[in-house]
Every structure is written in structure tokens, then in C-alpha cells.
Amino acid sequence: MQWFLPLLVAALCAAPAHAATTSLDGIYALVQRQIPQHQDSFTFSLIEGDGDAFTISDTVGGSGGITVQCTTVSACARGLYTYATQFGGVDIWWTGSRLNQLPATLPEVGQPVDGSAVVPYRYHFNTVTFDYTAAFWDWEQWEAELDWLALRGVNLPLAWVGYEYILTQVFQEVGLTDTDIASFLSGPAFQAWNRFGNIQGSWGGDLPTQWVNDQYALQQQIVQRMADLGMTPVLPAFTGFVPHAMARLYPNASIVNGSQWSDFPSSLTDTSFLEPFDPLFATMQQSFITKQQAAFGANLTHVYTLDQYNENSPYSGDTGYLANISAGTFASLREADPEAVWMMQGWLFFADESFWTDDRISAFLNAVPGSDSMIILDLYAEAAPQWQRTDSYYGKQWIWCELHDYGGNMGMEGNLPELASAPLAALNTAGSSMKGMGLTMEGQEGNEIVYDFLLDQAWSSTSLNITAYVEAWVSRRYTVASLPASAQEAWTILSTTVYSNTNPNTQAVIKSIVELSPSISGLTNATGHHPTEVSYQTNTSIIPALQNLVQAAAQNPLLLTVPEFVYDVVDVTRQLLVNRFIGYYTVLVSEYYSSGATSASVNAAGQPLLTVITDLDTLLYTSPYYLLSNWISDARSLANGNTTYADYLEYNARNQITLWGPDGEINDYASKQWAGLVGTYYLSRWQTFVTYLADITGNGTAYDNTVLQAQLLNIGKAWDQEIWGQSANEPLTTVGTSMTVVDQMIQKYI
């Protein structure tokens, strides 16, 4: 077998520091799960070769089967995916797997097809994805996710689930009581920020032991499955964040307080941090990793995720201090695991750029010996890459990551041209130590094309052709014979407008003001971290795209049986409505400020806003993918019928997507456009706003945002305490037919 790998690839594909499986059982099991009718049609064989590479060909002997030769199990999965997508015309999506729609007679490959990864690491997950998306996933949801990842060739996923189980044992070992520990751990929907040391403790009740135990059991399944699929799980380690009581137990230990995070009160932030040069740190690290290895195997992985300063300021900016911290941290990892590789999210270098000067980053990274010792995730490389200013992270391995989505928000946005060019440019830069491409989205919500695109770019040494890519993507997303040209046209429009956003001020998901706490100013045209400025013209993008999709459905009604098609039509209509909302809001504000405004005129100007919200809720209710009840019932079902526990989980679920904190500390950060949330919570806030403006116009009181926000906060607190389905307005399943409602919306809003 001859591999035609470009020189560059061969040079960069050093064997990663992990021991991936060489058993093919996992890949055969994947076929059995996803394509049972063809479970005997695929043959995989591992062959010698550099990096991750595969060849797919027709099985010799005319059996109608397909053979995938591959150098790694991850490459086997990618080879299978390449066959399914390029020859079979089917794919697996966040909305579901359509791989079982492969034709009964498998299409022939003909001339064998080679593929190879251009980077040794294909990475997935942000620490916070475990809360914004996966907080309440059960094993079945995890299985679907892991198959999605494996098939796309991801080989380095993060695996945080159930961290608290071993951590609690380590805490108990050093003498902390259950009360000390309970006061430190955060609730099920907020564990990521506790793991980051941003917050400590809970609101709405302590973290139940049952949660910790159940999540740990789930992690055992997840980690095993990752390994079976040829992935190297990135496991947690001891970070140094400890309960405040540690300082009482060990008065001489080097413990400092981390910084205050967001608007949280000191009792819930200012987390204690045991400094890594204290011998106790190494002891606890050793204990943690030993226990974890005992649970998952000593050679399953040597890559550890460990973040101490993610949105958390170091105690000192002295370069000697920072070097000491990283050197001590790394030494503790290597003492516990001689092959340890330290992975850290590079978000801090962007988010806290004024603190993290080049000198400080250099001190921090260079104090860790060797270049294979660390993997830095350049977390937001699509908009604010940090590798240039850090001289390719001073030679440490790093991964080009796409962040894109904050808080699991749902606006359509993307920058395909950047994804097609920037990662390869970084890889080909002289002296580059880039070793991977990956996804660090905070939540997996919509815009699936931009994520697919980057994971596919990781298997192409030349820039993907966006036009051709989108066309192929649409063809297999809408799996009908005779796909109307208008369906392709819709995506040509979207990919050249919404998904070609080069405005640096509105990168990452664009948030709708519908989801924000109403106010007379400050909502529209925001740029930066939470952009609300719409970066494209709705009239020349969303609207013609929607019209084309609707036309396609009229031409070929079979499209209405394709879940991804209906999902997209609802998505584009959703975007139309929330964009229209901005115009109505602007009218209301100017009416309020106009000299002739009366209580009645302001109230009248407010009605269209409320109508859009009601319409949006009606639209979302037609689709099984946009229901608040999914999120809540996922949470409740983890309680196995214990109502007290289920209510506690529901509070966590509700609070994360609304107030995010007991008192709206990062209000609306993780907002969603979900049926049931829009029609109850957002509607009620905007009704209150309109009524307030009308009232003060009528009685001559000045606008007082403090008074208004206090009122709105109380609505949020009450909403968070509710139990789903107790009101007649809260159906648990879909209502109505998507296309009927879409047609009504087109009549009304175009």
C-alpha cells in the first residue's frame, strides 16, 4: 500500500502521546449500531502507516462489500464516514442519524479513495459544553454524540463527566468533612465553572450524592466508548481549587483566594486555590490521578485537562510566580503519570489579554519543560487567535479551535472563508507547533455546517472549496431523490451571507434581543463578546433563503419527511422573526420618546413585539428540536421518579438558561429560543416592559431602569421555581405543523 501524503503532513504527524486502541471491535460495533442492515458489508483492517490515514475500496471478490484499510481506529471511523457521506449520500447529524438510509445495494467505490488527517489531533468540547449542552444527557444521548465525533475523525475529546466522584474522595482523604465539601461543589447545571474555580457552592440546594455517583457511572461508559472508538479521552486532574475549610485544616499551606467572577457574591466565588508549589498539591494530584487510573486504566490516556486561570486572575502577576505555578503544576502531573501531557484552554490569553502580556505567557508556558508536555487550545482562533503573538505558544503543541457559540445561543452566523484558510495557514507557517484542529463551542446549538466544515478541513491539506462543500453537504442533508435546485440555492445564499461573516465585531453567535431583559437602551447593535448587531441584510439573505426552501418543499413534498429539512426551515423562519423584532422594538422606543406619545400610543406600538414573540413560540412548538420541555424532561428523568430530586434538577435546568445565578448574576447568558421559554418567560418580560412604558407615559413618571429590572428579575425568580407542565400553556410535545405555520409567518413578516 502506497500513501501519497504531502510532505508537510508526514512532517507534522508525529505519533500523539497516547495509547489508542488497536482493537477493531469498537468500529464494528459502531457499524452495528448505526447501519445494522449492512453490518456484514464492511471490512476494516489496520495497516502500518504514518499518522491517521485510510483507503476505502470495494471488497475484493465482488461480494458488494466495502473495505476500509486504516492506520488507526480513528482513521477507520473516518474512512467509514467518507464512504457513507461521499458514496452513500447519508450522514449523522445533531438532529439524528440517517446512516441507516444507506441504499440496500451499497454503491461501489471504483478507484480506491485515500484520505489522511493533516493534523495528529482532532479535538472536541469546551469544558462548558458539558453544562450548556450535555448537563442532563443520558447514555443514549452520549452514544449518539460519540458516534458523531468518531465518524468525523475526532480522536481527542474532553471527558469531564463525574469528576466530582474522585475529587470528593481526595478531599475526604485530606480531612475535609462532607459539609466542607458540600459547601464547595456546585449544582448539576453549573459544574464547569466550579471546575474552573470561577464559582463555589450551590444555590437551590446542595449537590446530591446521587448525582455524583450516577455521573461517575456514566463517565465509565463514556470513557470506555471513547477508547473503543479509537479516541484518547482527555481526563481531568486536580487543579488546586479547594473548599475554604482547607485553610483552617492546613493553616500553613499556601492557599490564596481566586478572583471574583462576574457579579457573584463572595460566598459563591473567590474560590480557594492551593498553590502548586505547596507539597500538599502534589500529594492531592498523586491521589487523584492514581484513583482515576485505577478506575479507567493507567494507559487509557496521558492527556489531562487542567485550567487554573480561566476567567480567574492569578494571585500575582510576577513572572517568577507564574513560572513557579506552571512548573509546580506540571511536576505534579509528571510525578503521578510520567507520560502526562497538560492540556489547557487558551481563552484567558484573549479574554484577559491585559493581564496576560507576552512576557507573562512566556514565563508561564516556558517554565514547563519540553514542547510535547503541553497542548494549548487556541480557543477562539476563528476570530481572535493568540498563536501569532505567542510565537506559536513558544513551541508548545497547540490546537486551532473554533469557539463560535457562546452559551448555547441560537443565532445563525459563521465564517466559512476563514475556516477554509486560517487553520491551514497557521499549520503551514514556518516554525508552527500547531498539532490539531477542533471545536470548542460552548454549546452545540444550530449552525452545524460551521462545525462540520472545520472537522472536514482537518482531513484536507488544501482549502475546502466552499461552493462545492456546501452543495455536497446540502445534498446529503436533504436525502431525497431529485433535490430541487432551489434547496441548493437557499444554501448558496446562506453560505455567502450569513455564513461568510467577516465583520470582526460580530463573530460568534449573534444573540437576539428577544432573549435579553427588556430595557429602553443598550440592547440593539451590541458588538464584541455578545453581539446583537445583525451582520447581514435580512432582506437579501434570510428571506430569499426561506423562500427558496419553501419553494423546494412545494416542488418535492418528500422534503417534508426529512427532519433536517424541516429543522432548517423552522430555523430560518425563527431567524426572520427575531430579526423583524428589532424593527418593532426600534419603533416602540421612538414612539415612547416622541412628543405626542400617550399611554395608548405606546401600548399600541408595543403590541407587534408581543405578537412576534407569540408567533415565534407557535413556530417553535411545531418542531421536536426546539422544545424547552426536552431540556427539562432530560433533567427530570435523571431523578428516576424521585420528585424532590426531579424538582431540584428542574430548577438547575431553568436557572442556567435564564438568571444564571440566584440573582441574575450573568442573566440571559445561556438564553435559548425554545418553545415554552419564549411563550412564557420572554413574553411575560416584554409584556411587563410594554405595560411599564405605557404606564409611565400616562402618569408622567421618569423611566427608571433599576425599578424595571428589579421587577423583571422577580419574574425570572418566579419562573425558575415553576414546575413544567403545571400550566395549560405548556404542552410537553409538538403542536401544529411546521410548514403551515411557516407559510403564515411568511404572509405576515415578508
Positions in the binding site for ligand NAG (CB under 6 A)? 208, 210, 244, 251-252, 256-257, 266, 270, 277, 298-299, 324, 327-328, 465, 467-468, 524-525, 537, 539, 586, 642, 644-645, 648, 692, 695-696, 699, 701
CB of 167 to ligand NAG, least distance (A): 19
CB of 262 to ligand NAG, least distance (A): 16
Give the C-alpha separation, 712 to 714, whole Å.
Answer: 5
Residue 462 neighbours by CB under 8 Å, 6+ apart:
424
The 3-state DSSP class for residue 500 equals strand
CB of 178 to ligand NAG, least distance (A): 14
Give the C-alpha separation, 510 to 153, whole Å.
Answer: 29
* For ligand NAG, the closer CB: 322 or 401: 322
DSSP character string of 225-264: HHHHTT---BEE---SEE-THHHHH-TTS-EEE----TT-
Give the C-alpha separation, 379 to 305, whole Å.
Answer: 14
* For ligand NAG, the closer CB: 327 or 562: 327
* For ligand NAG, the closer CB: 266 or 726: 266
Give the C-alpha separation, 222 to 162, whole Å.
Answer: 10
Give the C-alpha separation, 713 to 664, whole Å.
Answer: 7
Residue 627 per-residue DSSP state: B
Cα-only R_g, the chain? 26
**Whole-number Cα distances in Å, 568 to 81, 126, 133, 530, 564:** 23, 25, 19, 24, 6
* For ligand NAG, the closer CB: 100 or 705: 705
Residue 116 per-residue DSSP state: E
CB of 401 to ligand NAG, least distance (A): 26
Q: In what order do the strands lie in the sheet with 303-305?
A: 156-157, 121-124, 434-439, 397-402, 374-378, 341-345, 303-305, 235-236
The residue written with cell numbers 516556558 in the block is 366
Closest CA to 330 of 359, 302, 310, 351: 302
CB of 324 to ligand NAG, least distance (A): 4
Helix axes 599-620, 738-749, angle to 10 degrees: 150
CB of 657 closer than 8 Å to CB of 669? no
Phi, psi torsion values for 491, nearest 5 degrees: -80, -25
**Which residues does residue 541 pair with via DSSP β-bridges, in sequence order?**
none
* For ligand NAG, the closer CB: 43 or 744: 744
The 3-state DSSP class for residue 639 equals coil
* For ligand NAG, the closer CB: 23 or 586: 586
Query: Is residue 717 classed exposed, middle or buried when 0-12, 13-18 and 19+ CB atoms within 10 A define those classes?
Result: middle
* For ligand NAG, the closer CB: 314 or 328: 328
* For ligand NAG, the closer CB: 129 or 548: 548
CB of 277 to ligand NAG, least distance (A): 4
Helix (H) or strand (E) holding 121: strand 121-124
Cell of 427: 499549520
CB of 444 to ligand NAG, least distance (A): 28
Give the C-alpha separation, 326 to 309, whole Å.
Answer: 11
CB of 238 to ligand NAG, least distance (A): 17
Helix axes 25-34, 73-82, angle to 10 degrees: 30
Give the C-alpha separation, 124 to 147, whole Å.
Answer: 13
CB of 342 to ligand NAG, least distance (A): 15
* For ligand NAG, the closer CB: 59 or 373: 373
CB of 603 to ligand NAG, least distance (A): 12
**Which residues does residue 378 pair with via DSSP β-bridges, in sequence order?**
400
* For ligand NAG, the closer CB: 586 or 594: 586
Query: Is residue 18 classed exposed, middle or buried when 0-12, 13-18 and 19+ CB atoms within 10 A define those classes?
Result: buried
Cell of 200: 463555589
How many of the other CB atoms lie within 10 Å of CB of 224?
15
CB of 37 to ligand NAG, least distance (A): 32
* For ligand NAG, the closer CB: 96 or 279: 279
* For ligand NAG, the closer CB: 266 or 595: 266
* For ligand NAG, the closer CB: 58 or 275: 275
The residue written with cell numbers 460566598 in the block is 267
Give the C-alpha separation, 101 to 92, whole Å.
Answer: 10
**Whole-number Cα distances in Å, 365 to 75, 326, 519:** 32, 7, 44
CB of 194 to ligand NAG, least distance (A): 16
* For ligand NAG, the closer CB: 614 or 701: 701
CB of 471 to ligand NAG, least distance (A): 6
CB of 683 to ligand NAG, least distance (A): 18
* For ligand NAG, the closer CB: 95 or 254: 254
Closest CA to 159 of 124, 188, 187, 122: 124
Give the C-alpha separation, 190 to 202, whole Å.
Answer: 9
CB of 187 to ligand NAG, least distance (A): 12
CB of 276 to ligand NAG, least distance (A): 8
* For ligand NAG, the closer CB: 85 or 133: 85
The 3-state DSSP class for residue 439 equals strand
